[in-house]
Amino acid sequence: MSKYKIALAGNPNVGKSTIFNILTKSNQHTGNWAGKTVENAYAKYMYNKNTYEVYDLPGTYSLVAHSKEEEIARDFICQNTVDVTVVICNAVALERSLNLVLQILDITSNVIVVVNLMDEAMKKDISIDLEKLSSILGVPVIGASATYKRGIKELKEVIENFVLNTSIKDKPYIWKHDDEVLFASNIVKKCHEISARVVKVGSKKYLKRERKIDKILTNKVTGIPIMLVMLFFIFWLTIVGSNYPSEWLSNLLFGFEEPLYAFLSFLPVGITNVLVYGLYKTTSWVVSVMLPPMLIFFPLFTIMEDIGLLPRIAFNMDRAFSKCDSCGKQALTMCMGIGCNAVGVTGCRIIDSKRERLLAILTNSFMPCNGRYPTMIAIITMFFIGGSRGILSSALCALILVLIILLGIVVTFITNKLLSKTILKGDKTPFILELSDYRKIRIGKVIVSSIMDRTLFVLGRAISVAAPAGILIYLITNITIGNTTLLMWCSNFLEPLGQLMGLDGVILLAFLLGFPANEIVMPILLMTYLGTDTLTNYESLSSLKGILIDNGWTITTAISFLIFTLFHFPCSTTILTIKKETNSWFYTFLAFFLPLIIGIILCVLVNLLSYLF
C-alpha cells in the first residue's frame, strides 16, 4: 500500500470543491461565485489499497498571484512536491481555463486535465475534442460532469495509472519569469490557438439569452432595485414561514423544563437551578429563535448563490464602493454577513488588498445577522404595523427590514470613506470578478448544503456560546449587593447613558449580556423588567408590547432600539473570528467599538430630534 499526494487546481467556479467532495466523500461547501475556497481543504480516499491525499486549492486564474487565495494556490503548487496536479477546467469557458493549465505545465509535466461541466457545454451546444486536446497538451484529459458524478471513476483510474507509471520530481518547483507581461501574452495567444482547434460551438443562442438577462440585472438603473426586491422577497418568506414554527419549537423545548428539573433533583438545588434555568433555558431560547428562520433564509440565500446572482450584486455595488476607496467584492461579504457576521468576516479573505479586506472586516457587523432578525421583527411588528401577523403585515415588516439594511449599507459607505482617509489610507485596487454562468436550481444540493454547511454550523456555534452565557446570566441575576441584585445594580449604573440614547439602563445591560449571542437580548430584557430570576418568554406580541410600554417604551425607544440592534458591538463569535483573521488586537478592538460608537451617536441624534419635533 502506497500514499500519494494529489492537488486539485483550477479557476474559481469550475467545480473543484464538488470533485473534491465526491472523491473524498467530504462536505466542502461549493458555490456559484469566485472565491468560495480560500484555504487548502484536505482529505483522503482509498483506491485499490492505495491512499490518496487530496488538497483542494483555492480558485485561481493565474500563478501570477494578486489575491490571498491565488497566493495560497501558487505557493502550494510551486513549493510542495505533489505526485500529480489535477487541473479542473470549465467546458463552457475552456479558453480561459487553459491559461492556468499552460502555466502549471510550464513548471511540471505531472498534470492531469479534467474538463468539467460537460453537461452545461452540451446544453449550450458546445463540443470539445478531448483526444485532440490531450494530444496537444501531452497529458491525460478527462471529460466530467461532477454534479452528476460522471467521469469521477475514470479520474480515479487515470490518477492511479499516472502515479504508478510516471517519474515524480523530488524537489520544489520554481515559478520565475523575468518578463511576466510577455509570458502572459504568449500564454493567452496559445490558449486562443488551442481553443480554436478543439472547441466547436454549434449555436450562440445561449449567449444572447444570458446577455439579455445580464443587461437587466447589471444595468445601473434596474440592477440594484431588482436586488432589493429579491432581498425583500427573501425576508418576507422568512418572516411568514418562521413565525409559527418558532412558537411551536419554543413550547416544545420549554415543555421539557420541569421534567428535566425533576430528573436532576438528585443534585444540590443550586446546581440544578443553574443547569435548568440558566444553561438549558438560554440554549432552548436560542434554538427556538434561530433555527426556523435559518431553515428558510439560508436555503433561499443559497439559491441566489447557486444560480449566480451574488457576483451580479458585487458588480452593481462596485461603483459605489469605488467612490468610498473600497472594493466591490465587499458586497459579497456583506451578503454573507446577513446570514452570519462571523461567516462574513471569514469571507473577507476573497478581497485582494489587505487595506480593503480590513475595511470589509471592520464594517461587516453593520449587516444584521440571523440572530438579530427575530428581535427586530418583533419590535417592528409591535410598534410599526400594529402587532398583526397577516400576509400584508409581514410584507410591510419585510420592507422595513430592507430599509434598515439600506441604512447599514449607507453607513458602511460613509465609514469606509472615513477610514480610507484616516487609519486605512490607500488607493483602491482594481479587481477582476467573473460573472459566472447562470445555472438551474439544484434543490437537493441547496437543501443539503444550506442545512449542513450553514444552519447547523451557525446554530452549533451559537449554542456553544449561549450555554455558558446562560449560567453567567443566572448567577448575576441571583447574586445580591445589599438590597438589590447584581443585575439591577448594573442596569442602574447604565441608566444615564441609556436615557441619553432614548433607551434605558435595562436595554443597554441586555445588549451587554447578549454579547455571547444576540438571540438572548430580548429574554434578558423581559427578565429584568419583570424582576424574575430566570430568562422569561412572552405569551404574545401584544403582551410583550404591554410589558415594554409599562416600562416607559415609546416610538422613540423603539426606533433607537432598532438602530442599536443594527449598530452595536459584534457578538463574541464574530469578535473571535476577527482576531483570528486580522491577528491584531488593535483591529479587533476597533471592530468592537466602531459600530458601538456609531450606534450611540445615531441613538442620541434620534432622541434629540424626538425632543425637538
Where on the phi/psi map is residue 138: left (φ > 0), alpha (ψ -120 to 50), or beta?
left
- pLDDT score at 176: 62
Residue ranges making up the domain that contains 583: 223-456+466-612
Whole-number Å distance between alpha carbons of 204 and 211: 11
**Virtual torsion, Cα 499, 501, 503, 504, nearest 10 deg:** -40
Asked, for residue 212, whether it belongs to a domain, the answer is no
- pLDDT score at 76: 78
Same-domain check for residues 193 and 232: no
CA distances from 406 to 26, 279, 483, 578 (A): 38, 36, 46, 24
Q: Does residue 594 register a pLDDT over 90?
A: yes
Asked, for residue 368, whether it belongs to a domain, the answer is yes
Give the pTM: 0.73
Nearest one of 580, 537, 531 to 255, comparing CA atoms: 537
Same-domain check for residues 233 and 185: no
Nearest one of 8, 15, 217, 10 to 120, comparing CA atoms: 15
Which residues fall within 8 angstroms of residue 308, CB to CB, at 6 or more apart? 32, 33, 435, 436, 437, 438, 439
Task: Please tell me what DSSP assigns to residue 430.
Answer: P
- Structural contact between residues 349 and 38, judged by C-beta atoms closer than 8 angstroms: yes
Provide the CATH number for the domain around residue 160.
Answer: 3.40.50.300
Same-domain check for residues 199 and 228: no
Asked, for residue 218, whether it belongs to a domain, the answer is no
Give residue for cell 459584534.
Answer: 570
Q: Does residue 586 register a pLDDT over 80?
A: yes
Model confidence pLDDT, tens digit, residues 203-236: 766 667 777 888 888 887 888 888 888 888 888 8
Residue type (1 letter), 493: F
Same-domain check for residues 247 and 195: no
Sheet with 3-10: list strands edge to edge.
41-47, 50-56, 3-10, 84-90, 111-116, 141-143
Domain boundary among 142, 173, 203: 203
| Residue 138 CB neighbours (<10 A) | 9
- pLDDT score at 38: 47
Model confidence pLDDT, tens digit, residues 501-526: 999 999 999 899 888 878 778 878 87
CA distances from 152 to 12, 47, 53, 149, 422 (A): 19, 12, 16, 6, 52
352 versus 47: the higher-pLDDT residue is 47
Whole-number Å distance between alpha carbons of 445 and 447: 6
Model confidence pLDDT, tens digit, residues 372-410: 887 888 888 888 886 556 677 778 888 888 899 999 999
Q: Please name the helix (run of DSSP H) or strand (run of DSSP E) that holds residue 485, with its range, or none.
A: strand 484-485
Same-domain check for residues 552 and 590: yes
Residue type (1 letter), 247: E
Same-domain check for residues 148 and 101: yes
Nearest one of 112, 152, 141 to 15, comparing CA atoms: 152
Mean pLDDT, to the nearest integer, of 545-555?
Answer: 88
Mean pLDDT, to the nearest integer, of 43-58?
Answer: 88
Would you call 318 exposed, middle or buried from its count of C-beta atoms within 10 A (0-12, 13-18, 19+)?
buried
Percent of the chain with pLDDT over 70: 84
Grid cell of 223 as nine digits: 440592477
Whole-number Å distance between alpha carbons of 587 and 414: 18
- pLDDT score at 179: 61
Same-domain check for residues 244 and 115: no
Whole-number Å distance between alpha carbons of 370 and 368: 7
Which residues fall within 8 angstroms of residue 598, CB to CB, at 6 or more apart? 411, 415, 567
Same-domain check for residues 434 and 320: yes
Q: Does residue 251 register a pLDDT over 60?
A: yes
Asked, for residue 434, whether it belongs to a domain, the answer is yes
**Dihedral sign computed on CA atoms, order 170, 176, 182, 185:** positive
- pLDDT score at 530: 75
> How many structural domains are present in the chain?
2
pLDDT mean across residues, the chain: 82
Would you call 56 exposed, middle or buried from its count of C-beta atoms within 10 A (0-12, 13-18, 19+)?
buried
Whole-number Å distance between alpha carbons of 84 and 136: 19
Q: Does residue 460 register a pLDDT over 80?
A: no
The number of residues in the chain equals 613
Mean pLDDT, to the nearest integer, of 335-341?
Answer: 81
Where on the phi/psi map is residue 481: left (φ > 0), alpha (ψ -120 to 50), or beta?
beta
Asked, for residue 211, whether it belongs to a domain, the answer is no
Same-domain check for residues 191 and 305: no
Same-domain check for residues 147 and 295: no
Mean pLDDT, to the nearest integer, of 40-65?
Answer: 82
463 versus 385: the higher-pLDDT residue is 385
Rounded to whole angstroms, the maximal C-alpha distance in the chain is 87
Domain boundary among 175, 203, 231: 203
Asked, for residue 482, whether it belongs to a domain, the answer is yes
Asked, for residue 213, whether it belongs to a domain, the answer is no
Asked, for residue 278, whether it belongs to a domain, the answer is yes
Q: Does residue 35 register a pLDDT over 80?
A: no
Model confidence pLDDT, tens digit, residues 283-336: 777 777 777 777 777 788 778 777 777 778 878 888 888 888 888 788 888 888
Grid cell of 549 as nine digits: 410600554
Query: Taking each helix axis from N to C terminus, what angle separates 281-306 and 223-255, rounded to the nearest 10 degrees?
Result: 150
Of 28-32, 51-55, 263-267, 445-449, the poorest mean pLDDT is in: 28-32
- Structural contact between residues 160 and 47, judged by C-beta atoms closer than 8 angstroms: yes
Same-domain check for residues 90 and 157: yes
Same-domain check for residues 289 and 327: yes
Q: Does residue 456 register a pLDDT over 80?
A: no
Helix (H, G, I), strand (E, B) or coil at 436: coil
Mean pLDDT, to the nearest integer, of 119-141?
Answer: 90
429 versus 410: the higher-pLDDT residue is 410
Mean pLDDT, to the nearest integer, of 81-92?
Answer: 89
- Structural contact between residues 114 and 144, judged by C-beta atoms closer than 8 angstroms: yes
